[in-house]
Amino acid sequence: MGLALVHGRARAGIRAPAVKVEVYLAGGLPRMSIVGLPEAAVRESKDRVRAAIQCAQYEFPARVITVNLAPADLPKDGGRFDLPIALGILAASGQVPREALEGYEFLGELGLTGELRAVDGVLPAALAAAAAGRKLVVPVGNGEEAALASNVEVRTARTLLEVCGLLHGDQALPIAVPPPSAAVAGPDLRDVRGQAHARRALEIAAAGGHHLLLVGPPGCGKTLLASRLPGLLPEASEDEALETAAIASISGRGLDPARWRERPFRAPHHTASAVALAGGGAQPRPGEISLSHHGVLFLDELPEWDRRALEVLRQPLESGVVTISRAARQCEFPARFQLVAAMNPCPCGWAGDASGRCRCGVEAVRRYRGRVSGPLLDRLDLHVDVPRLPPADLRPDAPEGESSATVRTRVADARGKQLARAGCLNAGLDQAATMAHCRLEHRDQALLERAIDALQLSARAMHRILRVARTIADLEGQADIGTPHLTEALGYRRADRRQEAVAA
């Protein structure tokens, strides 16, 4: 019977569901059909496969060829199924041994000459193959990426002929190995002159995983500060790094296997759309918030962003995931990132500056700040003023601050306490855990309630103040939250005070 089965992998978000490529040969006028919800690129594979088989000096069967991609209700896209289809045809026609296909999964796009070309989304497929206990054969261009997955044997091939040689037992394909990690020195916090208050807020944000808003005039160092946050974070664990790398793998923007352990830092332009931020498309792809997973998302010029684009951040900031729904499919992408936003205090950027150069009216300032919704600001734990530096602080011989390595040691110690206490960072505490781990003395509770009434803060803001206070206490090595910790946390709600001042 002319029937063969080859194992492959589809792409669905960051998952790689198994696909069985079933090939059946029957008598009749020669034709080839592919069923199982193939997209256009998959339907066109019949022409690539025919040419590749013939160029490899094999016979393309002059029979009725039916290719079924199971499960039938899972959409299939891209050229990743070229290699499994070609091998299925060769096995069904008896040109390669069928039993040799067992224990392997195959991915790869075929050129007309039989050359194997790289495809995207290989890392999730390698992780899934490891869980299934099978070996994986991929193009050479995908070898280093697939080798990042542990507990799976990945072999690489340049042509269809090489893969057939493996199945015949004539030659062994090389085993892929991951590249050595590239040691890249990132921006150092030592480069930031002055700005002690903002540096302190950056350390607190890194220690507790808190979101941060920087407000200050042009050129005061907001972007400089934001770019230093990834260097303060501890190195990502293997699971975190693999999850982030898998997202980059399916994004279509490429993954550098040598830098897969680095935490991402994304800084999209303020003209980016809601789809660019959250992800989407006919074939859902991750957006900037998912590409920032376990890293930092920096949004500069916050009021200049389209308000509809900013509003898509509200739900992922709370849940850590974003769901993209389309008529044909639904994909869920992880999006647990730290948000750092920056903005000017007014349209001209100089409100509150000692030079007195700002000439913006109250209504102009109100409209400018009103471009950012209150609910979004409410989700930012730390609101920090970044003033213009005096020229003396910018001299080449001005004293430098602490390095990123020094601060990272304190951050790692504080994070270790949080993980041991609650199993997550302080920013990720739910309401019950916040009440359990962020208890205050009676006088501090009264202070917090007075501040909440004075600033008209929400319950969400109150919980975020408690979590920030808990992080400050962890940095100080204190088991309980004290009055200094609470008052410092309250001082980081400056945006709420500015809103009150403008309203008055």
Rg (CA), the chain: 28
Position 496 scores a pLDDT of 52
pLDDT surpasses 50 at 281: yes
Separation of alpha carbons 236 and 366, rounded Å: 41
Q: To which residue do tokens 């957006």 refer? A: 287
Same-domain status, 155 and 287: no
Q: To which residue do tokens 């060769």 refer? A: 90
What pLDDT, in 10s, does the model give residues 98-138? 999 999 999 999 999 999 999 999 999 999 999 999 999 99
3-state secondary structure of 355: coil
Residue 425 · residue 343 · CB < 8 Å: no
Same-domain status, 452 and 373: yes
Position 494 scores a pLDDT of 63
Position 140 scores a pLDDT of 96
Q: Indicate whether 176 belongs to any domain.
A: no
Position 182 scores a pLDDT of 67
Q: Indicate whether 87 belongs to any domain.
A: yes
Position 300 scores a pLDDT of 95
Amino acid at position 167, single letter: L
What is this structure's pTM? 0.89
Pairing of strands 109-110, 64-70: unpaired
Secondary structure string (H, E, C) spanning 163-195: HHHHHHCCCCCCECCCCCCCCCCCCCHHHCCCC
Position 94 scores a pLDDT of 94
pLDDT band at residue 328 using 50, 70 and 90 as cut-offs: low
pLDDT surpasses 70 at 327: no
pLDDT surpasses 80 at 270: yes
Across the range 169-180, mean pLDDT stands at: 90
Q: Indicate whether 425 belongs to any domain.
A: yes
Residue 474 · residue 418 · CB < 8 Å: yes
Same-domain status, 158 and 193: no
* Residue ending a domain, choose from 120, 137, 168: 168
Q: Indicate whether 174 belongs to any domain.
A: no
3-state secondary structure of 116: strand
Position 500 scores a pLDDT of 43
pLDDT surpasses 80 at 227: yes
End-to-end CA, the chain? 84
Position 184 scores a pLDDT of 66
Same-domain status, 67 and 207: no
Across the range 436-462, mean pLDDT stands at: 92
Separation of alpha carbons 357 and 469, rounded Å: 36
Separation of alpha carbons 249 and 246, rounded Å: 5
Same-domain status, 272 and 155: no
Cα torsion 42, 48, 53, 56 to 10°: value is -130
- Which CATH number does the domain housing residue 333 bear? 3.40.50.300
How many residues are given for the chain?
A: 504
Same-domain status, 382 and 326: yes
- Which CATH number does the domain housing residue 31 bear? 3.30.230.10
pLDDT band at residue 194 using 50, 70 and 90 as cut-offs: confident
pLDDT surpasses 70 at 408: yes
Pairing of strands 212-215, 382-385: parallel
Q: CB under 8 Å to 115, separation ≥6 — which residues?
A: 158, 159
Residue 243 · residue 261 · CB < 8 Å: no
Same-domain status, 139 and 233: no
Which of 41-55, 177-191, 236-250 bottoms out in mean pLDDT, i.e. has the lowest? 177-191
Q: Indicate whether 138 belongs to any domain.
A: yes
pLDDT band at residue 255 using 50, 70 and 90 as cut-offs: confident
pLDDT band at residue 183 using 50, 70 and 90 as cut-offs: low
pLDDT surpasses 70 at 59: yes
Same-domain status, 375 and 282: yes
Host domain of residue 164: 3-168
Across the range 156-184, mean pLDDT stands at: 89
Q: Indicate whether 436 belongs to any domain.
A: yes
3-state secondary structure of 338: strand
pLDDT surpasses 70 at 495: no
Same-domain status, 267 and 306: yes
Separation of alpha carbons 271 and 301, rounded Å: 10
Q: Indicate whether 177 belongs to any domain.
A: no
pLDDT surpasses 50 at 502: no
pLDDT surpasses 70 at 1: no
* Residue ending a domain, choose from 121, 139, 168: 168
Higher pLDDT, 400 or 183: 400
Same-domain status, 40 and 101: yes
Q: Indicate whether 173 belongs to any domain.
A: no
Position 425 scores a pLDDT of 95
Omega within 30 of 0 (cis) for the link into 391 = no
What pLDDT, in 10s, does the model give residues 3-18? 999 999 999 888 999 9
Same-domain status, 425 and 473: yes
Which of 56-60, 146-150, 200-204, 254-258 bottoms out in mean pLDDT, i.e. has the lowest? 254-258
Distances 346 to 197, 358, 502 between C-alpha atoms, Å: 21, 8, 11
Q: CB under 8 Å to 121, separation ≥6 — which residues?
A: 11, 16, 78, 80, 249, 250
3-state secondary structure of 204: helix
Which two three-digit tokens encode residue 410?
């304190």
**Domain tally, the chain:** 2
Residue 68 · residue 22 · CB < 8 Å: yes
Across the range 255-260, mean pLDDT stands at: 85
Same-domain status, 337 and 399: yes
